[in-house]
Amino acid sequence: MQPRPQTEQDELARQAVGENSLFVKAVTELADTHEVVASEDIFARGGTKLVSRGTRLSGQFYDRLVAHKLLKPIEQSLSVSDALDASKLVSLMHAEARRVPSLAPLLEQPELLEQLGKHFSQLSIPGPLSLRLAVMQSDRPKLFQHAMISSVVATALGISGQLPREELQALSLASVFHDVGELCIQPAFLAPGHQMSAEERRHLYVHPITGFLMLRDFAELPKGTANAVLQHHERIDGSGYPYHLSGDAISTVSRYLAVAEVAASLIEKHGADKRIGMKFRMNKKKYDAGVVALTSRLFGSFELQPSEKLDEVYLMTRLTQLGKLFEGWAALRKTISGADLERVSVLVERVNALQMLVIEPGFDQCRIEDILAMAGDADPEICMELTTLLDELNWQFKALLSGIERDQSISGALLPAALRAGIDGWLAQVRRFVCE
């Protein structure tokens, strides 16, 4: 069952879908390289005909279309040549998979590939969504590549997990469209190196809702497809977004998609190495354990491959910084009590959870000197494990900062000046750590 939306988020998502300038720009640019034709008359809400049926679009139509509120979403009134149907998606998925060496274990399983191809041949993609995919492929190629890799991984997981036919179909299509809501976000916001403002992050955090709104009215989609898109950033322990769902409130399809999307992202960046195993071990309360086990079986056990390029001096420096960060938090935590503790309870809970993530793989964040001693032994495997741990902790601290930015109960807490200064000082220390 769909959760009751948080009004502010839901409204922001509706506005994003209703604001057509970004998509119209992308469509008219697509029309310069593809045949994009009006399949029906396009009207403004006031009744003015803007484009006649059968007209081939080009960039010159942009100003006319964005100057009006359209009677219908523009993708419902257009068709594109060489539309991306399910069979073409299979070819594109195989091409992307061949580009990523870590997906070789899947490509080397003929039976699995045959099942994947047969499965996708039975899927149907509505015309308006096919146009969205074409825009994604043309305007956001990295996003499209990620969608293809995610779909390969998700579908392989679903087949391996013997999901029922309808759930498998929903998983495949949801994995293709899981980030379609990002088409409503300014590309500059997502550019590498761009430091997103709090307002920009608000748009990012609602992209699952935006994607859900784009998909929900297509009755021909398998049941659960739109809902899986809505929930793909939710986590079992309630730490996800946009609705902080937990446990059984998250659908089976969504659980598969959450693991597949994370695994795909890591595979694209790092290959099927220890980082994937570390990611899921350090976050085992966030993801479905059964789906994680399937991932390990598909891609191997993520065994350590010691690197000859490890920088022991850098490793020791970063571990020392980490120790000071935890020491700083311990000192700050002693100053928080009573009503103040209740006001910043979310921050305390998140840092406590982060500390547990360090402990779960076998390290004690309270005894950083022991970790330094292990690093000092110069054992390549231990050093590799510690390097991977630091990479993951860096990501986790970034997520902590992002969570604080979007959680008004923390950022807007009414606290004594001394405590406010202490928290701000510690967060500044966190920012320095993640920027190293």
Instruction: Quote the CA–CA distance of 163 and 148 in Å, as a whole number.
Output: 20
How far is Cα 324 from Cα 316, in angstroms, rounded to an integer?
Answer: 12
Residue-wise pLDDT for 408-423, tens only, equals 555 455 778 888 889 8
pLDDT > 70 in the chain, percent = 83
Query: Which has more pLDDT, 359 or 315?
Result: 315
Peptide bond between residue 242 and the one before it cis (omega within 30 degrees of 0): yes
**Calpha distance 416→151 (Å, rounded):** 49
Tokens 């996800």 -> residue? 240
Which residue type occupies 65? L
> Which two tokens mark 411?
């950022």
Q: Quote the CA–CA distance of 308 and 314 in Å, as a whole number.
A: 14
pTM for the whole structure: 0.74
Phi, psi dihedral angles at 42 (to 5 degrees) = -110, 125
Cα separation values, 169 from 21, 67, 100, 133, Å? 32, 39, 24, 17
pLDDT digits (tens, 9 = 90+) for 137-189: 999 999 999 999 999 899 999 999 999 999 999 999 999 999 999 999 888 88
**What per-residue confidence (pLDDT) applies to 55?**
95
Hey, is 401 helix, strand or coil? helix
Angstrom distance (rounded) from CA 43 to CA 69: 9
β 78-80/36-38 pair status: antiparallel
Phi, psi of 192 (to 5 degrees): -55, 135
CA-based nearest residue to 163, from 267, 288, 1: 288
